[in-house]
Amino acid sequence: MKCRSPLVCWIVAAAVVAAAAPSGVFASRVPTPRDGVRPPLTATLIQGAAAAQAEANVLVVYYSQSGNTERLAEVVAEGAQRVDGVSVTLKAVADVTREDLVEADGLILGSPTYYANIAGPMKSFIDDWALRYGVYLGGKVGGAFATGGGDTGGKEHVVVSLLLAMMNNGMAVAGPTHEEAEVKFGYPGASALTPAPGSGFSDAETENARLLGERIARLVLRISTRVGG
Ligand SMILES: Cc1cc2nc3c(=O)[nH]c(=O)nc-3n(C[C@H](O)[C@H](O)[C@H](O)COP(=O)(O)O)c2cc1C
């Protein structure tokens, strides 16, 4: 097949894949911004005492093979939970559903550093947003975190790459800097050095991860636009 431009080629390929995909989990068409629309918030509150108070949802998604990124994800989620009115869901990337993505007002992604880049399963998850999940994430608030074995092994590149994917999908992204923090710049996201066996993250790494969760949760309450609304 010959295409006049890469864009035309991409659209044709997307349409072919979408048409070939089975119904159900796989979307039968390329998503549009309207796919992110959900009914008024009052009609969509999930059951349960805590959720009944929730005005917005934050979804923390991580990939972790040996547990470090999972532990950092727990700290990020703990930070988000500090904010009243926000319901927080923490999930391994393999367990995320389309509904999780649609319902999330804020999305925080975490990945280990693999060869200075996003780990494959997290990248595949991102690549699946359009055709497999069929969601458009525009208007949601995003944040990112990473773990890595080296001081300069690429953690920041992972964070920035995750944020870039979110920006590319119309999301508003933010770092962890908190209005009340002493240092108000220099952190596009949270990151931590792989701890030695038996030890944990440093206090600064832990606090920064908490601030990331808290920051995104606060922003979600403030600027979540509910696409199409
Ligand atoms: C295939 C592979 C490639 C890696 N590449 C890097 C790297 O480029 N830079 C780095 O700092 N750490 C690298 N690491 C170390 C991991 O990022 C680090 O141990 C991380 O904390 C693992 O996260 P997890 O415990 O959540 O799986 C690599 C590990 C693996 C398995």
111 lines ligand 1 (CB under 6 A): no
Quickly state the pLDDT bin for 46 (edges 50, 70, 90).
very low
Ligand 1 centroid, distance to 58 Cα (angstroms)? 26
178 pLDDT tier (thresholds 50, 70, 90): low
Listed by start position, the domains of the chain span 1-30, 41-223
Q: How far is the centre of ligand 1, averaged over its atoms, from the C-alpha of 112 (Å)?
A: 5
Higher pLDDT, 134 or 19: 134
Alpha-carbon separation of residue 7 from 11, 12, 13, 28 (angstroms): 6, 9, 10, 20
Q: Is 114 in the pocket of ligand 1 (CB under 6 A)?
A: yes
Pocket-testing residue among 114, 145, 156, 193, ligand 1, by greatest number of atoms within 8 A of Cβ: 114
Topology at the third CATH level for domain 41-223: Rossmann fold (3.40.50)
Q: Is the CB of 169 under 6 A from ligand 1?
A: no
What percentage of the chain has pLDDT greater than the value 90?
65
Each residue of 94-124: pLDDT tens digit? 999 999 999 999 999 999 999 999 999 999 9
Task: Please give the model's pTM, rounded to 2 decimal places.
Answer: 0.79
Task: Evaluate: CB of 120 within 6 angstroms of ligand 1.
Answer: no
What ranges make up the beta strands (E) of 33-140?
A: 56-62, 86-92, 106-114, 117-118
Between 37 and 69, the higher pLDDT residue? 69
Could you tell me the pLDDT band of residue 225, with boundaries at 50, 70 and 90?
low
As given in the structure block, the two tokens for residue 84 are 């009243």
pLDDT at 180 over 70: no
